[in-house]
Chains A and B, each alone.
Chain A
Amino acid sequence: MEGLKEQLRKESKKAKLDFNELKSGGFIKQTQKDLFTVRLRCPGGKVNAEQMRKAGEIADKFGRGEIHISVRQSIEVPYVSYKDFDAVAESLREIGWAVSSCGPRLRVPTACAGCTYNPNGLTDTQGICAEVDKRYFGIETRHHKFKTSFSGCPIDCFRTREMDLGFQGVLEPKLIEDECNGCELCVKACDEGALKMDGELPVRDWDKCIHCGDCVKVCPVDAMVSNRIGWLARVGGKHGKHPYFSYEIANFLTDDQVYVLIEKTMSWYQENAVGRERIGAAIERLGLERYMNDVVDPLGLEAIRDQKDRRKYYAKGNFYDK
């Protein structure tokens, strides 16, 4: 790795390359000599038509006319020679675009379509994803990569359970008893079996409710309504060789609370992790309580509790009580 950097440094002088272009890590070494994959910055997987054309233009001019879509929603152009880095960067600058990152940084956030056009969506995943990208993209972690993602509802297509920090839309339903006609459609709509009829009215087992909002979306007379919408926060997940499921640490965060949690969690990770461990490993080593005490509790975020008022975390596929 060092050898490669050294070679690049020398070559970049020869080719008059701006080494800063390489620092962000948007150029990824391929198995083939001198060839790199250029990873373009596409927060939430959203690009406009002009960017699509630009990606095609770069692939035609500097690559082999091929595009690869990464699992993190980035458009990548493979087979680009390091000698063309400057030209590629310049070509991207023409439309105000840039390469993405790899390495020990806060990566480009991913997100689904969310409430803007997905029928299940509860939250504006694309909006918050763009903002998080603007504020925090590329921040150095001093340890390892740091991935964030946003899902618009509990179906969780964007796998927030496998992120260093993940946020998923949640809706708190509420019944207006006087409006309800007892049609039972909400009971049928609830996949979790959280609703049952008690006489003429549906009653909810809050321990089973996952805040998906399906009961609200189906109710024909608007008797089941949304009391509030927010974000469920998860920390410490990852995939890779040894995947981890994250801990659910707080519920019904506002957008602003999401930003603060990202900032505080990044600082905690920078200060408390050792070597190249991911935040999940640091939490495992130091104990979840430590992270909760240091980061979550001082922010006054809403803890997830069961009906006996015990704090509850979802981790590694099992619920357990604390």
Chain B
Amino acid sequence: MTNKGETVSPDDKLDLSGVLCPINFVKTKLKLEEMEVGQVLEVILDDGEPMKNVPRSVKAEGHKIIGVEKLTDETYKILIRKETD
């Protein structure tokens, strides 16, 4: 379920398991603000609402999701590449 062929090592990580919407997105956004364009952030998200909402909001902010991986039945890892300042 990862992106075809992409093996990227993240520049930063954020574990948002157990963090509710929309705090999880706000934390993601703040972290991305500290990073440089082109860097990759790894985020751990709960399945359900967080997986429904955070990726969409990240896309709407103009960043790119370059990987999605299922970790456990309840958590996912997504890789976000910062695209704009």
User: What is A's interface to B at a CB cutoff of 8 Å?
Assistant: 119, 181-185, 188-189, 191, 214, 217-220
B52 touches A220 (CB 8 A): no
B contacts with A: majority SS: mixed
**Is the CB–CB distance between B60 and A188 below 8 Å?**
no
A220 pairs with B59, CB closer than 8 A? yes
Report the stretch among B7-15, B29-37, B62-70 that lies at the interface: B62-70
Q: Could you show 7 A-B contacts with beta carbons less than 8 Å apart?
A: A184-B1, A188-B47, A188-B51, A188-B52, A191-B52, A220-B55, A220-B66
B84 within 8 A of A: no
The answer, yes or no, to whether B56 is at the interface (CB within 8 Å) is yes
Q: Is the interface of A mostly helix, strand, loop or mixed?
A: loop
A214 / chain B contacts, CB cutoff of 8 Å: 52, 56
Q: Say yes or no: A181 contacts B56, CB within 8 Å.
A: no
Of the candidates B1, B59, B60, B66, the one whose C-beta lies within 8 Å of that of A182 is B1
Q: Which residue of A lies closest to B64 (CB)?
A: A220
Q: Which residues of A contact B47 (CB under 8 A)?
A: 188
Whose C-beta in chain B lies nearest to the C-beta of A190? B52
Closest 3 CB pairs of A and B: A220-B65, A183-B68, A218-B56
Chain A residues lying within 8 Å of B1, measured Cβ to Cβ, are 182-184
- 10 further interface pairs, Cβ-Cβ under 8 Å (given A181-B4, A183-B68, A220-B65): A119-B60, A182-B1, A183-B67, A185-B51, A185-B55, A214-B56, A217-B56, A218-B52, A218-B56, A220-B59
